[in-house]
Homo-oligomer: A and B are copies of this chain.
């Protein structure tokens, strides 16, 4: 059996009791480590599980899936995914390949940033589609996220923006020379995301949002030191929420009083927050 097991968001104890039992008994344990990361390292997981863990990077999952699935008709293979197992496309590929090989598959769901973002007090019912923000390069500033946000904004919905992480990336030079040397991991911050959003609005000028638009930045959701900061995009572009992982929510105009009450506690500037709320959000549908 192939088990896709969600690990939740913060540390080794966010696995479910059911998931842990399976890991302890699996013949092999892989950890997917390129779409998200836990806030603890592999050694801590291995000590907690009492089992060796193989890091499965993108290359391994995409080109060596048959190694991961080897003999899984006869033994149990645990494939661990930070958050919930079905948050990224690649895992669909692995499941489809398992099906082709007639290997049974079972998934053990867990918390995902897509729902844990509810800790901000924003109602999950009011979210539209989720978008991703990648690190801009000088000549590559993809703005498809802007089109998606525009759609959400057009019907008044909040948008969760997931932020780029770069793990095991090669520099162009090392890639060209075929040297398997990797850059240190990078994680986009809420401040970088807010700045890129404003840069894109400046470029596209469709008025989807602006400096005064309200947003919420979150860091390390689910961990003891989780941080939530509410403010305008301009304020968030100056924020510092500390270590990764960060995410951002752009508010839609269709809000609820409870959301304001809950969020205000996290505002960089409570009076300013109230002023913008009353002017641009309150009672809008």
Chain A residues within CB distance 8 Å of chain B: 6, 8-9, 11-18, 20-21, 84-87, 89, 92-93, 95-96, 99, 106-112, 114-116, 118-119, 121, 123-132, 151, 154-155, 157, 221-222, 224, 256, 258, 261-262, 265
- Which DSSP category, helix, strand, loop or mixed, fits chain A's interface? mixed
Which residues does chain B contribute within 8 Å of A89, judged by CB atoms? 123, 256, 258
A217 to B157, CA, bound (A): 25
- Whether the Cβ atoms of A84 and B115 lie closer than 8 Å is yes
- What is the CB-to-nearest-CB distance from A24 to chain B, in angstroms, rounded to a whole number? 12
Please state if A130 and B124 are interface contacts (CB–CB under 8 Å).
yes
| Residue of B with least CB distance to A90 | B258
Contact B86 A118, beta carbon cutoff 8 Å: yes
Cross-chain contact B17 with A92 (CB below 8 angstroms): no
| Contact status A262-B92, CB under 8 Å | yes
> Which of B21, B128, B222 is within 8 Å of A13, CB to CB?
B21
B-chain residues with CB within 8 Å of residue A116 when the two chains form the complex: 84, 86, 109
Residues on the B chain within 8 Å of A99, using CB: 265
Instruction: Across the interface, name the chain B residue whose C-beta is closest to A11.
Output: B18
Give CA–CA (A258, B90) in the complex, Å: 10
Closest 6 CB pairs of A and B: A86-B118, A109-B111, A13-B18, A109-B116, A151-B155, A112-B115
